[in-house]
Amino acid sequence: MVAFGKKLKERQIQEWQSYYINYKLMKKKVKQYAQQIEVGAQDRRHVLKDFSRMLDNQIEKIVLFLLEQQGLLASRLARLREQHDALLQQPDISQMTELREAYRAAGMDLLKLLFFVEINAIGLRKILKKFDKRFGYRFTDYYVKTRANHPYSQLQQVFKHVGLGAVVGAISRNLHELQDHQGSYLSIYDEPALPLQDPVVDSIKAAVDRLSNSTNFLNFMAQHALIMQEELPSPVEEHIDDQKYHFMSLLLNLANTFLYMVNTYIIVPTADDYSMSLGAAATVCGIVIGAMAIAQVFSSVYFSAWSNRSYFKPLVFSSIVLFIGNVMYALAYDFSSIAVLLIGRLFCGFGSARAVNRRYISDCVPLKIRMQASAGFVSASALGMACGPALAGLLQTNFKIYKLTFNQNTLPGWIMAVAWLFYLVWLCISFKEPSRDIEENHTQEESNAEPVDNSALEKGLQQPLLITSEEKPEDEDGDQEYDGSDETSEESHPPANSIRSAYRLLTPSVKVQLLIYFMLKYVMEILLSESSVVTTYYFGWSTGAVAIFLACLGLTVLPVNIIVGSYISNMFEDRQILLASEIMVCIGILFSFHVFIPYSVPQYVCSGLVLFVFAEVLE
């Protein structure tokens, strides 16, 4: 693994080297502080004061250089503006071409400056996180709050890139005016939707989007979907993504996600009645519902491997298997066979292509809309979870066609079978397999290319700043402890070739998180799968009432995401949110038991709501 300090050194623009954050020195100081406090040579108050002063000096150095470079760019653009005005009086095609190239050169220098700000912002964030982790403080919250909210804030220049927006606007507007718009003289301010067909402007926009790394709802939901992105993706990869992107294919992946979640929960309100009608106990509904999740454990493995070669074929296979599974689920009633019922649900689980859906968004959707697509994935899942039980509540009928029975037990299977059949037809007509030749050719060109002495900017823009690697348990942000050498690195572990070897590579904190995730899923599935049994036994609820209750639970997913992502996560540390959520889940479980007082509907509904909502917060 390559440490962040070494990556920072490699990415630096040489002539600006003295103006970057001195990450190596600050990491060394953090280690010295820890040693001094341990032996009693320093008190914590002095450490906080000294570290704050050092951070202030580093930020001031960065900001003053940034302002100087902005001034140089502004003067340069002002001179170009004068040339532009002169050309408007006496147009000259050759001079306009030269002027356009001059604006593009200014745009490339602006890219250098944006990359400079981005590297320093990442360095500041990482060193603050390292300090908090080493000393157990919430120093980051205090430092950012006091510095960013000050009327003379220098930190705002780094994290909010104040002033750079005006430079971006000047370059974009003038390049737009110098393009041939078939007689149109509209400004970008008059028509913001007008496309700017210039690669420099596209690169600047992508750099600004990456730099705007504020916490928002879409970003939180993308993390919820487990679709991650690198901190500094390369423009080459963004160009490849644009060529691979196809809106209808993305829509088909989101539709697959929605239908699968509907398929999972549409049987929940009626699973107990179905089991009893086939001669099994009502509690067998837990096995019927859980069979799909068990099969999904295996399907995620082969679908993940299959998506390395194709996206279209796994989705076709998924649709066919889900169609067969739902038909078997519906026919189990006429066959009077609980075995056919369970096999049908297992088939549905074997058709889970959620791994393919996530992979498609991660690999084939351009960075500029990847957050929206990831949020769409979570929204489709939440909507499907709510629509499944609600749809089951509407299927209260009973009739026969030939020897096939259509009632509240079998109709969920028939409805989903028809839905997957229509989806399969739509998939075959509209899905566009992403071209893998682009990616392969790009890789081949890189491997065959002769080594050239590129500038630090080009190296920085064409390679991600941070790489995914094995992390030390004592330093989770990806940096190694300073050992006095200029270049720190760590020999990475060989790839795991079995579940046991993969488990050994996990840090204790990751193991705890996996255990928490298992338990919250376990609790949620118990609540959902046994809801019809419990409510029928204690309250005599009908299928429609159970469906409404489950649909209401499903509708809480998006509001919970908004509240946690936009407010709570900014007010409290993750560990505090985890602990509070675990306590509330435990309270919800305890409150759901029938112990002394008579069991009532308010008790069950409140306990179920508390349990479900805080389990969702944990997830």
Mean pLDDT of 153-181: 68
DSSP 8-state secondary structure symbol assigned to residue 485:
S
Mean pLDDT of 46-70: 87
Mean pLDDT of 113-142: 79
pLDDT of residue 152: 66
**How many alpha carbons lie under 13 Å from residue 215 in its C-beta half-sphere?**
12
pLDDT of residue 453: 41
Distance CA 209, CA 204 (A): 9
Domain boundaries, the chain: 3-182+196-225, 245-432, 508-618
Number of other CB atoms surrounding residue 9 within 10 Å = 16
Residue 216 pLDDT greater than 70, yes or no: no
CATH of domain 3-182+196-225: 1.20.58
Residue 53 pLDDT greater than 70, yes or no: yes
Distance CA 143, CA 56 (A): 10
- 440-446 contacts: CB < 8 A, separation 24 or more? 442/236, 442/240
Distance CA 146, CA 141 (A): 9
Among the ranges 38-52, 154-168, 440-454, which has the highest mean pLDDT value? 38-52
484 CA to centre of own chain:
36
Burial 522-531 (b: 16+ CB within 10 A, else e): ebbebbbbbb
What's domain 245-432's architecture? Up-down Bundle (1.20)
Closest CA to 535 of 554, 549, 551, 552: 549
Distance CA 410, CA 403 (A): 13
Residue 280 pLDDT greater than 80, yes or no: yes
Contact 440, 463 (CB under 8 A): no
Q: Which H, E and C letters describe 423-443, residue by residue? A: HHHHHHHHCCCCCCHHHHHHH
Range with lowest mean pLDDT among 85-94, 293-302, 391-400: 85-94
pLDDT digits (tens, 9 = 90+) for 424-470: 999 999 999 887 654 455 445 444 444 434 344 344 434 443 333 33
Closest CA to 48 of 137, 117, 114, 112: 137
Strands annotated E in 310-349: none
Amino acid, res. 445? E
- Tokens representing residue 594 in the block: 């029938």
Contact 585, 559 (CB under 8 A): no
Distance CA 299, CA 308 (A): 15
Range with lowest mean pLDDT among 1-15, 250-264, 288-302, 317-331: 1-15
pLDDT of residue 100: 84
**Which of the pair, 480 or 389, is modelled with greater confidence?**
389
pLDDT digits (tens, 9 = 90+) for 169-186: 777 777 777 765 434 444
Residue 484 pLDDT greater than 90, yes or no: no
Overall residue count recorded for the chain in this entry:
619
Residue 327 pLDDT greater than 50, yes or no: yes
Q: In the chain, pLDDT over 70 holds for what percent of residues? A: 72
Closest CA to 315 of 374, 257, 375: 257
| Strand (E) or helix (H) holding 50 | helix 44-89
Residue 151 pLDDT greater than 70, yes or no: no
Residue 382 pLDDT greater than 70, yes or no: yes
pTM of full prediction above 0.85: no
Contact 63, 157 (CB under 8 A): yes
Residue 229 pLDDT greater than 80, yes or no: no
